[in-house]
Structure 1
Amino acid sequence: MNELLVLLPILLVCGVVAGVLAGLLGVGGGIVIVPMLYHVFIYMKIDISIAMPLAIGTSLSTIVVTSIISARAHHKKGGIDWDLAKRWVPFVIIGVLIGSFSSKYIDGSSLKFMFGVLLLLVSLNMIISNFKKLVIADELPGKAGQSIYAALVGGFASLLGIGGGTLLVPLLTLYSFPIHRAVSTASLFGLIISIPATVGYVIVGSGVENLPFASTGYVNWLAFIILVPMTMIFAPLGVKLAYILNVKQLKFAFAIFLACVGVKMVLV
C-alpha cells in the first residue's frame, strides 16, 4: 500500500509530461518514459540492478498500446512504407530477440550508462537538426546494409526500451527519406519491436526477487495502467501547444535537458 501511495501521484505526473512532450516535440516512448521510471524506482529504494531493466520493460509495454493507435492512424493516411517494412521486419525481429534477452546478461549500471549515451546522441541530433538538415546519401544502401541497420535498430530499441522511432526516424532521414514517411513507418516498427520485446522482458525478469507491487518480470502493470491513458489524454494538448509556442526554441531547450539527464546517467 505504501508503494501504491508513492507511485500513483508520481506516475500521473510522468504520464502528463510524457504525453505533452510527445505531442509538442514529436518525442515520446522510452526516450521520456525510461529515465522517468528509472528515477521513480530508484526513489522507491529499488536496486539499480532491477530499476533499470524494470523501467525499460515497462516502457516497452506502454509503447505496444500507443504504437497500435499511432500506426493505425498513419496507415489510414497512407504514410507507411510497406515495401521497406516487409524487407526490414525479419531482421528487426532478430535484433529484438537478441536485444531483449541479452538484457539478462547486462547489469543495470551498464544499461543505465548505455541509455545515458543514447540520450546524449539524441540530444546532439536534435540540436544539429534544429539548424541544419543532415543527409549522407540520396537513398538507402543495398539489401545487406539495410539488413544490418534493421537488426541494429531492433536490437538497441529493445535493449533500451525506446520502441524504434528514436533511432529509425533520424536514420531514414539521413538517407533522404521524407520526414513524414519516416515517422509513419517508424510507428509501425514501434509495434513490431515492442510486442516481442515486452514478452522478452517478462520472461527475463521472471523469478527475480524484490520486484515492486504489480510487476510481472520486468514489467510493472501499475505504471502501465497509469502511463498509457495519461500520455494518450495529454498528447493532443502538446499538439495544440505546438501551434502556439516556439517549438524550435523548446526543442533546443529539451535537447539540453536530455543532455543533462544523459550526463547524469553516464556519470552518476
Structure 2
Amino acid sequence: MIAGIPLGDLAFLAVSLVAAGAITGILAGLFGVGGGAVIVPILYEIFRVIGVSEEIRMPLCVGTSLAIIIPTSIRSYNAHRAKGLVDTSILKVWAVPVLLGVLAGSYVAKYAPPNLFKIIFVAVAVVSALRLLFASERWKLGDDMPSNPLMVLYGLIIGVLSALMGIGGGQLSSLFMTFYGRPIHQAVATSSGLGVLISIPGALGYIYAGWPKMDVLPPLSLGYVSLIGFLLFIPTSIWTAPIGAQLAHQLSKRKLELAFGIFLLFVASRFIISLIG
C-alpha cells in the first residue's frame, strides 16, 4: 500500500491514466479541445473503481481535468498555430471575459451539488453533437462574428461552463464560431487557444474549492486536483497532441463534424446513465 492506496488499485490507476493520456492528446489535437471532454468521464470511471465518494468524485474529475489541460492545450494550440488557421483577433476579445467566467465557475464549484456538473456536461455535449450531426449549416446566427458586447457575453458563458465541465473551452467556442459561419477547421484551431486562458485559473480555483474537503479527498490530492492523475496524464497527452492536429487537417470538413458529434454523444451517454440510474 502506498499513500493509503492498495498496490492493485495503484497499478490500475497508473496504467489507465497513461493510456487515457495518449487518447486525450490525440483528441485534443483532432478537435481543438483541451481534452476535458474525454478526461472527465475517464477519471470518473477510474475514481469510481478505486472507491472515491460520489459526493466529491465529479468535482475531483473536473479540477484534475483542468490541471491536465494546461500543458495539453499549449501543445495543441502551438500545433494549430503552425498551420496558420488561428484567428488571434477572436482570442483577444474573449481573453478577459473568459477569465472572469472561469473564476465565477470555480467559485460556484465550491458549493454546487455533484449532479450539477453532470447536467451541464450532458446539456452542452448533446446540443453541440446535434448541431454537428444533423443541422450542419442550417444552425446559423449570422455570417460573421458579432460585435464586441455579444462576444463578451459569449466569452463569459464559455468561461463559466468550461469551469463547471472541466474542459478547455474548445468545444463551446467551436460551437459559437460555427454558428457564425466560421469553417470548422478554423473554429477548431482558434478554439485551441482558449485552453490556457481557462485551465490555469480553473485549476487554481478547484484547488481552492476543494481545500475544505482535504480530509475526505483521496491521497495525493491538492484540493479538487488529483496530483497522481495530473502527473500520469501529461507525458503521453503532450506527445500525442500533434498527431491529432495532423489528423484534423487531413479530414474533410464534414468528416471532422461527424467525428466530433459522435464523440460528444458517446461522452454524454455515460453521464446520462449515471443521472437516471
- Shorter-chain TM range is 0.7 to 0.9
Q: Determine the structure 2 residue equivalent to 1:206.
A: 211
Q: Determine the structure 2 residue equivalent to 1:154.
A: 159
The answer to which of 81-90 and 23-32 deviates more is 23-32
Count of aligned pairs between the two proteins: 266
Distance 1:17 1:177 in 2: 27
Q: Determine the structure 1 residue equivalent to 2:73.
A: 67
* Cα-to-partner distance string for 1:196-218 (whole Å, 9 max, x where unaligned): 11111111111312212221111
How large is the RMSD of aligned CA atoms in angstroms? Answer: 2.7
* Structure 1: tracts of 5 or more residues without a match: none
1:83 and 2:89 are equivalent in the alignment: yes
* Residue identity matched to 2:266: F
Cα deviation, residue 144, structure 1? 1.7
Q: Determine the structure 1 residue equivalent to 2:133.
A: 127
Distance verdict in 2 for CA 1:250–1:92, change over 3 Å: closer
Distance 1:162 1:128 in 2: 24
Q: Determine the structure 2 residue equivalent to 1:104.
A: 110
1:266 and 2:275 are equivalent in the alignment: yes
Asked if the contact 2:32/2:189 (under 8 Å) is kept, the reply is: no
Distance verdict in 2 for CA 1:265–1:127, change over 3 Å: farther
* Residue identity matched to 1:88: W
Distance 1:75 1:132 in 2: 25
Cα deviation, residue 132, structure 1? 4.8
Identity of aligned residues (%): 36
1:19 and 2:49 are equivalent in the alignment: no
If the length of structure 2 is used for normalisation, what is the TM-score? 0.84
Distance verdict in 2 for CA 1:98–1:255, change over 3 Å: closer
If the length of structure 1 is used for normalisation, what is the TM-score? 0.87
* Structure 2: tracts of 5 or more residues without a match: none
Distance 2:179 2:84 in 1: 22
**Aligned partner of 2:59 among 53, 61, 75:** 53
3-state SS, counterpart of residue 6 of structure 1: helix
Distance verdict in 2 for CA 1:95–1:112, change over 3 Å: same
Distance 1:263 1:27 in 2: 22
* Cα-to-partner distance string for 1:106-158 (whole Å, 9 max, x where unaligned): 011221222222332233233226x6564221122222211111100011111
Distance 2:268 2:156 in 1: 26
* Cα-to-partner distance string for 1:53-86 (whole Å, 9 max, x where unaligned): 1100111111110111222333344433222222
**Aligned partner of 2:170 among 165, 185, 189:** 165
Q: Determine the structure 1 residue equivalent to 2:185.
A: 180
Asked if the contact 2:33/2:169 (under 8 Å) is kept, the reply is: no
Distance 2:202 2:262 in 1: 31
The answer to which of 55-64 and 204-213 deviates more is 204-213
* Cα-to-partner distance string for 1:201-242 (whole Å, 9 max, x where unaligned): 111111312212221111111111111222233445556777
3-state SS, counterpart of residue 212 of structure 2: coil
Distance 1:27 1:107 in 2: 26
Distance verdict in 2 for CA 1:183–1:240, change over 3 Å: closer
* Cα-to-partner distance string for 1:11-44 (whole Å, 9 max, x where unaligned): 2232233334445566651111111111211222
Asked if the contact 2:41/2:267 (under 8 Å) is kept, the reply is: no
Cα deviation, residue 179, structure 1? 2.8
